[in-house]
Each structure stands twice: as structure tokens, then as C-alpha cells.
Structure 1
Amino acid sequence: MELRTIVVDDEPFSRQELVHLLKEHENINVAAEANSAEKALELILREEPDAVFLDIEMTGMSGVELAETLQKLKKPPSIIFATAYPDYAVKAFRLEAVDYLLKPFDEVQVAQTVNRLIQRFSLPEKNAGAVTGRLAVQSGDRILYLEPGSILYIYKEGRDTFIVTEKEKYPSKIALKELEGKLKGYSFFRVHKGYLVNMEKVEELVSWSPSVFQLKLTNSKDQIPVSRNYVKELREALEL
């Protein structure tokens, strides 16, 4: 697999350094370079690269503004932000960047990013977001990386979403439906319009009446309501 990339940075030294490190990887083809976001946009529309390594603080259009523009394309390239400023990590997450490289670059850091990029293009489309095998969740001003297997269940309460593990409950700004999509390919099942449950953690399906069911989970005192609309599918999923 060869991935075509474009490197965008208005600082010549940083741009050349990153290009040099990327060329050490046979899977990466640096198709073009740009010293501004405006020039990069022209190149991206013409070259249609798989990925763009993008500086953030640039004269004129910023890297964030360019990334927002690229998201509107029918087939946007994967974005890797490359910057000296760690304060943009949350914005990078919101723009679904593959990674966030901090300057000065080093071989190990770039190699890890290249591996994530290759994994993303090697995975089926429906699970392309899970390149690290972990779920990236923005919680307040933090970005958390949770192992899907550590999650007991996810629920929404009003406009808020919460991710519950055996140790802690995390508030999240991501909608339940979006989290459900991110966790496709893992053992999660919608049991209620407001609940998504890790089926690996289900210990017991309790029937309180012919139409009222609850789930008991391993290592949890919480009981999860099951909508009668989901009971049949849930029984099949549990092989009952």
C-alpha cells in the first residue's frame, strides 16, 4: 500500500524536516509540498491525496480553517496536524484528525503516526475511526482514549451523554448515535433509545413483567432498562 500525501507548512525548515522523515517510509509518497493553506487547497483539489500533514499557525488561512474547508469535500483526505502548539489538540479532535504531531519532530513520533495512517486505510470503512483500537472521547478540556472493552454502557440524559466504565463515569460531548457508529465492530448493542450496552458485560436479563426487562452487568450495581422494542433482537444477540 502506498499513500499519497501533501505536506503543508509555511516554515521551510520544518516542512523539509517532516518531508525527510516521511520519505523514510516506503508506504508514504510525498506527492507535493505547500507553504500556505491557499496553495495547499489548490494542490489538494488537483492531486486528491490520501492524507495531508498540516501546520496550524500559518500566514493567511490557518491549518484549522483549511481542515474545515476540506471536510466539505465529497472525499476529504485524512488530516494530520503538525504544529508547535499543543493547545490545538481539542480542535484537532473535533476535526477528526488522524493524529497530532508536535514540533520538533522525531523519528519515533512520525513512525507512530505513519502506522496509524496505514491502519486507517487498511481497515474496513465502517470501522476506520478505530485506528488505535481505542475510543477517543472529548470530555471537557481533555481527550480520553478508552479501551472499548473497559466500557460497561453508554447512556444519554437530556442532551448529555455519559460513558460508564467499572471505575468511572465520563461525560462526553459526542451524541449517543455517533458513539454507536464509532463502536461498530465491537460488542455494543442498543437496548433502549437512551442506552448502548457492552454485550460482553451482560450477566443477566431480568424480566419484571412480560413487557419490562432490565440488564444486570458484570461488576456493576446498575440495572439497565431494556425497551420492549429491542427485547427480541437482544434475546437473539444473547443467544437465548
Structure 2
Amino acid sequence: MRPLRVALADDEPLARTRLARLLREAGCEVKAELADGPSVLAWLKGAPDLDALFLDIQMPGATGLEVAVELADCRTCPPVVFVTAYSEHAVRAFEAAAADYILKPVSAERLAKCLARLGEGGPRRSEAVGPLPQRFPVKAGEGHVFLDLKRTSHFEVETEVVWAWAAGSRHRTAWTTLAEVEAAFPGAGLLRIQRHLLLRPEAVLGLKPLEGGRASVRVGEGLDLEVSRSVTPRLKELLGL
């Protein structure tokens, strides 16, 4: 079998060198060793033939997660493996369709398991993603439960915490910005009705005009949201009004 062709990115020179050495010792052909997110995106424009892309999450310019979002619609891009010292990014990593998630310091044994899965002839990243995700994790005690997007009325951000509203209750997600929610569901038709509110139009039960061209929408029993003047015409159009 031919060796796996891989590239890696890490802004820490020692960590980058160590990972490259471990990959070569495991029999991989390392095509590139990059130092930040923008370098990864620029290098990938040359359409290199890769079997895997190993990304640190915390990098300058663009994080590994942001790079993965940029690659979401790329049909020739390789599977992404995140390598990081921070376990709290795991949920967001798998939301970005990561093929694997390895904690630093990387051990040869853990890396071997990852490479074995990649070498089993699995699909490329675009094929592995499948349909757009319709569920997402929220905190539940010490663990997580999964909410269905179709049961979610809207998302609200407060002090870098995104809350998902479902059945009149709010649930804490792993996201920190509404832009991350939009990136997770690019084809869901979510609409930013206020700077801090992201609405699923299908969840609207009623709409009431307000002064100044604004509107109020009902998304649950006793739960009304104000829509900005600039967005109200678009929402009415989506609702057939």
C-alpha cells in the first residue's frame, strides 16, 4: 500500500516538528508543514492530493475550526484531524465533520489508531459529511443531549454564550457566536433578526407589525421576539406576507 499523504499546521514550531516526525515514523508522506490558518487555505488552492489534513485549533489568522468551515463545501479536500491541547473544543470539532480529534501531547499509539482508520479506504471529507447536520449538542448536567434543529425556534447570544431555544426553554450550546451557528447550518435558512438573535422562520407562529416598520413574531407560548426594521420585509417575504 502507498503511504498516506498528509499535511499539518501548527503555530508552535516544536509541536509542528514533533508531529511531522511522528507522522513520518508512522510511514506517512508529509507534503507540507504550515504555521497558520491562512497558509493552509493558500496552500490548498494548489489542489494537492492528500489523504488527511492535521490542524491545530488555536492558530493565528484563522483557527483550525475556521479553516474547516472554509473547506466545508470543498469536494476535493481531505478529511480533517484536529490536534489540540484543549479537550473543550471536541464538540465543535465534530460539528465541523472532523475525521478525528487528538489531544496533545500526541502519542505514537494514538496517532497509529487515527492513521489506521484513515488508511481503511474511508471516504474523503466531502463524502463523509453526508446530509447537512440537523442535530446539535447542548449541555445537560455534566454531559450533553442533542436537540433537533427543527424543534428549535431561535438562537440567542449573551456574553459569548449561544443559547438554543426549544419548547420555550433555552439550552446552552458549545458555540460562542451566531456566526458559528450559521456556519454549522448553511442551508437551513436561519435569519438574523437582531444582532443577538438568529431565527428559524419555520418556527414563527404569528407576526404583529410594530411602529417604525418593525415587527414582533411569536415563536412559543408567551415568547415574542422583536424583528429589526431592516429585516422585517425579508421575514414577511419568507412567511408569504
Q: Specify every segment of 5 or more residues in structure 2 that has no aligned partner in the other structure, as ranges.
A: 130-134, 153-241
Aligned residue in 1 for 2:15: 14
Deviation at 1:2?
2.9
Which letter maps to 1:80? V
**TM-score, with length taken from structure 1:** 0.52
Deviation at 1:143?
7.1
Matched, 1:3 2:4: yes
- Counting only pairs closer than 5 Å after superposition, residues 102-181 of structure 1 correspond to structure 2 as 102-119=103-120, 121-122=121-122, 139-141=137-139, 142=143, 159=151
Structure 1, residues 46-68: CA drift from partner, whole Å, max 9, x if none? 12422110001111111111110
Aligned residue in 2 for 1:217: none
The alignment covers a number of residue pairs equal to 143
Structure 1, residues 20-46: CA drift from partner, whole Å, max 9, x if none? 1111222x2111110011111121221
CA RMSD of aligned residues (A): 3.2
Q: Distance in 1 between matches of 2:49 and 2:23?
A: 18
Q: Distance in 1 between matches of 2:123 and 2:83?
A: 24
- Counting only pairs closer than 5 Å after superposition, residues 225-240 of structure 1 correspond to structure 2 as none
**TM-score, with length taken from structure 2:** 0.51
Aligned residue in 2 for 1:83: 84
Change (3 A) 1:8 1:125: closer
SS in structure 2 opposite 1:88?
A: helix
Structure 1, residues 80-130: CA drift from partner, whole Å, max 9, x if none? 0001111110011111111111111111111111112112x256999957x
Q: Distance in 2 between matches of 1:88 and 1:5?
A: 22
Q: Specify every segment of 5 or more residues in structure 1 that has no aligned partner in the other structure, as ranges.
A: 130-136, 145-155, 161-240
Aligned residue in 2 for 1:69: 70
Q: Distance in 2 between matches of 1:126 and 1:78?
A: 8
**How much identity, in percent, do the aligned residues show?**
34
Change (3 A) 1:126 1:38: closer
Q: Does the Cα contact within 8 Å between 1:70 and 1:77 map onto a contact in 2?
A: no
Which runs of at least 4 in structure 1 moved beyond 4 Å after TM superposition? 122-129, 141-144
Q: Distance in 2 between matches of 1:122 and 1:91?
A: 22
